[in-house]
C-alpha cells in the first residue's frame, strides 16, 4: 500500500476504534486518533511482524508504552489478521482478553503496558537481548508526551544511550495534551530535542499525522548508528474529528450516539478527500 | 550440622554455577555488585552481566524486556530498592505478564544494620506476597540458598527471593533434605508448640528449641522458606499435633510470614497463635545484632512467645 492508501486506511481504522469505544463504553479516543498515523506507518511500512511470525525470534518488537491507546493498536492488529473481528468486539466487556490496556495474551502484543513510564526500559531490555542473541530485529517504542514526566523514562533513556542501542527507535506522540491540560502547563517537557540529544540520542522531528512524513523520518531514524533514535511526531490530539481536536476533555470521553454519528461522518469525509 | 555459612557467598557461587549450565541466565545489577557478589558470575560471563547504574525501576523493566526474548534475568539490589522502589515494575511489567524474571531482595530486614531504616526493608514479603501469582522465598542458610536458587532457575515464572546479608548456621544439611518450592521443612519435631520460622530467624528458632528442651518443653521447628505459595499442609499438621503456633520473622508482623500463617489458621483451625517479628516499627541504625535485640528478634524473644502461646492452650 502506498502512502495515500495508508492515509485512507488510518481514517478507516479511526472509525473502527471509535466503534470499539462507543460500544465498549470505554477508551481513549483523543489519543487513539492522535497516534493512529504513527501506528499505521509502523505496522504497514516498517515492522517486520505478522501472525505467522509471532514466535519468530528475529521479528521486530513493538511496545505501546502509552497503553491507553489500546483501541488503535487492536484495530490494526485485527486488520493485519492477528485475531478475528468478532473477538475484538468483546473489547472492555466482562471477561474479555481485550482489556483497556494491552496485555500479552492478545496475539501480536509483546508486553503488558499502560503503567506509564514502563515501556522504554522494557524496550531497552529487548534491544539488549537482541544484541546478545545476534538478532537483526529492531525495537520500536511509542510513548506519549505526558508520559515523559515519569522518571523511569529518563532512566531508560540514559541506559539506551549508555549501551549504544541503535536497534531501538522511540516515537513520541507529541500531541501536547494530557488529562488535566497542556503538557506545557502540567509538567513542561521543555525542548525535547535538546533534552534527548543531551542524553546521547539521535533525534528527528516530523508532522505526526502524515504517513509520508512519518515513513521518511522513521526510515532515516532506522539508519542511526551507535545511538538510539528518537522521532518526535508532532500530532493533533483527536485528529480526524474536529470537535475533539486539541481538546483535553476528549482524552477519555466516550462519545454519545449523536457524537458517534458525527465522528463517523467526518472521518468518512476526510477519508474521501484524500487524493 | 552447625557449620556457619555465608548466604550471599552461597548465592554468588550457585548463580555462577547455573550460568555455566544455562546460557539463558543473565545477571543485572544496580551498582551494588559489591553486595550481590555477581562478580563471580560476570567474571565468567561478562556479556551476560549488566550494571544499569542506580536505577532499579529501569533494571526491572530491562529484565522484563529480556525475559520476553527468552532470557532468564536475575536482578539485584537491596530489598528496599527492588521490592520497594521497583514495586510497580515488578507488579505490572514482570508478574502480571508472568515473565521469567527472578528478583533478589538483598540485605533484607535489619541485616543492613548501620545503614538505618532507609535501607532496612521490613515490608518486602508483604509487598511481594500480595501480587497475584508471585512466588516469594526466603532462605535460612547457605545450603538452602543453593538449592533454592537452582529450583528458581528451573521454575518458569516470576520469583522474589529475600536474601539476608549475614552468615547463618547451617541447619538444612540433613539427610533427606531436598528443597521444593512451597514445601516447608520440619527441622526438629516437638509436641508442645510449633515455631514456624523463615530466613535468619530459623537459626534463632533452633536455638530457642534447644533452650526450651532444657526446660522440658518440646518445640517443633519448621523452616518456612516459601512464603508464597504457603505450605498449608505443614501448618495444619503442626496445629493438630502441637496445638500452639508461633511464627517468627525479621519482617513486619503485618503482611509477612505471620500473616500468611494466620490466614491459613483463621480459616481452618482454632489454636493459640502468636506472631513474633517486627511490631510495625522502623529499625534503627546500629550493629545488626543490636538492632535485632532492640526488636526482640532473638532466641529469648521466641522463647517468651512460645511460653505465652502454650499458656493459652
- Asked, as a colleague might, if the bond just before A3 is cis with ω within 30 of 0, I would say no
In the predicted model, what is the mean pLDDT of chain B? Answer: 96
Cβ proximity of B125 and B248 under 8 Å: no
Tens digit of each residue's pLDDT (9 = 90 or more) over B246-278: 999 999 999 999 999 999 999 999 999 999 999
Cβ proximity of B235 and B261 under 8 Å: yes
Interface residue A114 vs chain B (CB under 8 A): yes
Cβ distance A128 to B66 less than 8 Å, yes or no, reads: yes
| B4-169 and B185-311 agree in CATH topology | yes
As a CATH number, domain B185-311 is 3.40.50.920
Residue to substitute from B62, B64, B99, B133, interface A, most A β-carbons within 10 A: B62
Tens digit of each residue's pLDDT (9 = 90 or more) over B82-100: 999 999 999 999 999 999 9
Q: Closest partner residue to B55 among A103, A139, A155, by Cβ?
A: A155
> What per-residue confidence (pLDDT) applies to A62?
98
Burial string for A169-204 (b: 16+ CB within 10 Å, else e) reads bbbbbbbbbbeeeebeeeeebeebeebbeebebbbb
Cβ distance B66 to A133 less than 8 Å, yes or no, reads: no
Q: What is the predicted ipTM?
A: 0.95
The distance of B14 to chain A (nearest Cα, Å) reads 23
As a CATH number, domain B4-169 is 3.40.50.970
Residue to substitute from B59, B61, B86, interface A, most A β-carbons within 10 A: B61
- A47: helix, strand or coil: coil
Interface residue A134 vs chain B (CB under 8 A): no
The proportion of chain A whose per-residue pLDDT surpasses 70, expressed as a percent, equals 100
Interface residue A111 vs chain B (CB under 8 A): yes
Q: Collect all residues of chain A within an 8 Å Cβ-Cβ radius of residue B96.
A: 103, 112
Tens digit of each residue's pLDDT (9 = 90 or more) over A139-161: 999 999 999 999 999 999 999 99
Cβ distance B53 to A159 less than 8 Å, yes or no, reads: yes
Q: Which three cell numbers stand for residue B266?
A: 483463621
Tell me the β-bridge partners of B43. Answer: none
Interface residue A128 vs chain B (CB under 8 A): yes
Q: Closest partner residue to B93 among A112, A129, A159, by Cβ?
A: A112
Q: Where do the domains of chain B lie?
A: 4-169, 185-311
Cβ distance A129 to B66 less than 8 Å, yes or no, reads: yes
Interface residue A226 vs chain B (CB under 8 A): no
Find cell 522474589 and name the residue. B160
Amino acid at each position: 500500500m502506498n502512502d495515500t492508501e495508508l492515509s485512507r486506511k488510518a481514517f478507516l481504522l479511526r472509525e473502527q476504534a471509535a466503534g470499539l469505544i462507543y460500544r465498549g463504553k470505554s477508551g481513549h479516543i483523543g489519543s487513539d486518533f492522535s497516534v493512529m498515523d504513527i501506528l499505521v506507518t509502523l505496522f504497514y511500512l516498517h515492522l517486520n511482524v505478522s501472525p505467522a511470525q509471532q514466535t519468530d525470534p528475529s521479528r521486530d518488537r513493538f511496545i505501546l508504552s502509552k497503553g491507553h491507546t489500546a483501541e488503535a493498536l487492536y484495530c490494526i492488529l485485527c486488520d493485519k489478521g492477528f485475531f478475528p473481528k468478532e473477538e475484538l468486539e468483546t473489547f472492555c466487556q466482562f471477561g474479555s482478553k481485550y482489556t483497556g490496556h494491552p496485555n500479552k495474551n492478545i496475539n501480536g502484543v509483546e508486553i503488558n503496558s499502560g503503567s506509564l513510564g514502563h515501556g522504554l526500559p522494557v524496550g531497552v531490555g529487548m534491544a539488549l537481548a537482541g544484541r546478545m542473541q545476534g538478532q537483526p530485529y529492531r525495537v520500536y517504542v511509542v510513548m506519549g508526551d505526558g508520559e515523559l514526566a515519569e522518571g523511569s523514562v529518563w532512566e531508560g533513556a540514559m541506559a539506551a544511550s549508555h549501551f549504544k542501542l541503535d536497534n531501538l527507535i522511540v516515537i513520541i506522540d507529541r500531541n501536547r495534551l494530557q488529562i488535566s491540560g497542556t503538557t506545557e502547563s502540567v509538567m513542561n517537557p521543555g525542548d525535547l530535542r535538546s533534552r534527548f540529544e543531551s542524553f546521547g540520542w539521535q533525534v528527528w522531528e516530523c508532522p505526526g499525522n502524515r504517513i509520508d512524513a512519518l515513513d521518511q523520518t522513521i526510515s532515516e531514524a532506522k539508519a542511526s548508528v551507535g545511538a538510539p533514535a528518537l522521532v518526535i511526531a508532532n500530532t493533533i490530539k483527536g485528529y480526524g474529528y474536529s470537535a475533539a481536536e486539541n481538546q483535553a476533555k476528549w482524552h477519555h470521553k466516550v462519545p454519545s450516539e449523536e457524537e458517534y454519528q458525527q465522528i463517523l461522518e467526518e472521518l468518512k469525509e476526510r477519508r474521501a478527500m484524500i487524493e | 550440622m552447625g557449620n556457619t555459612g555465608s548466604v550471599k557467598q552461597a548465592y554468588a557461587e550457585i548463580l555462577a554455577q547455573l550460568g555455566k549450565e544455562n546460557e539463558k541466565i543473565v545477571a543485572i545489577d544496580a551498582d551494588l555488585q559489591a553486595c550481590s557478589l555477581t562478580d563471580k558470575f560476570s567474571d565468567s560471563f561478562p556479556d551476560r552481566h549488566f550494571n544499569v547504574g542506580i536505577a532499579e525501576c529501569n533494571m526491572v523493566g530491562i529484565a522484563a524486556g529480556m525475559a520476553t526474548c527468552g532470557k532468564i534475568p536475575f536482578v539485584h539490589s537491596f530489598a528496599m530498592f527492588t521490592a520497594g522502589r521497583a514495586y510497580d515494575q515488578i507488579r505490572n511489567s514482570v508478574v502480571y505478564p508472568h515473565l521469567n524474571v527472578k528478583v533478589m531482595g538483598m540485605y533484607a530486614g535489619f541485616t543492613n544494620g548501620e545503614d538505618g531504616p532507609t535501607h532496612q526493608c521490613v515490608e518486602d514479603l508483604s509487598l511481594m506476597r500480595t501480587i497475584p501469582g508471585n512466588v516469594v522465598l526466603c532462605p535460612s542458610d547457605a545450603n538452602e540458598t543453593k538449592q533454592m536458587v537452582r529450583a528458581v532457575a528451573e521454575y518458569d515464572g516470576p520469583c522474589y527471593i529475600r536474601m539476608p546479608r549475614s552468615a547463618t548456621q547451617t541447619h538444612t544439611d540433613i539427610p533427606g533434605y531436598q528443597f521444593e518450592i512451597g514445601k516447608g521443612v520440619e527441622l526438629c519435631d516437638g509436641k508442645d508448640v510449633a515455631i514456624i520460622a523463615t530466613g535468619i530467624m530459623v537459626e534463632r528458632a533452633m536455638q530457642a528449641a534447644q533452650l526450651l528442651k532444657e526446660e522440658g518443653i518440646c518445640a517443633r521447628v519448621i523452616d518456612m522458606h516459601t512464603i508464597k505459595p504457603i505450605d498449608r499442609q505443614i501448618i495444619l499438621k503442626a496445629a493438630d499435633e502441637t496445638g500452639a503456633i508461633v511464627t517468627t520473622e525479621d519482617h513486619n508482623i503485618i503482611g509477612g510470614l505471620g500473616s500468611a500463617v494466620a490466614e491459613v489458621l483463621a480459616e481452618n483451625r482454632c489454636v493459640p497463635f502468636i506472631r513474633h517479628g517486627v511490631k510495625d516499627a522502623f529499625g534503627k541504625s546500629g550493629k545488626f545484632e543490636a538492632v535485632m535485640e532492640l526488636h526482640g528478634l532473638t532466641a529469648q524473644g521466641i522463647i517468651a512467645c512460645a511460653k505465652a502461646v502454650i499458656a493459652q492452650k
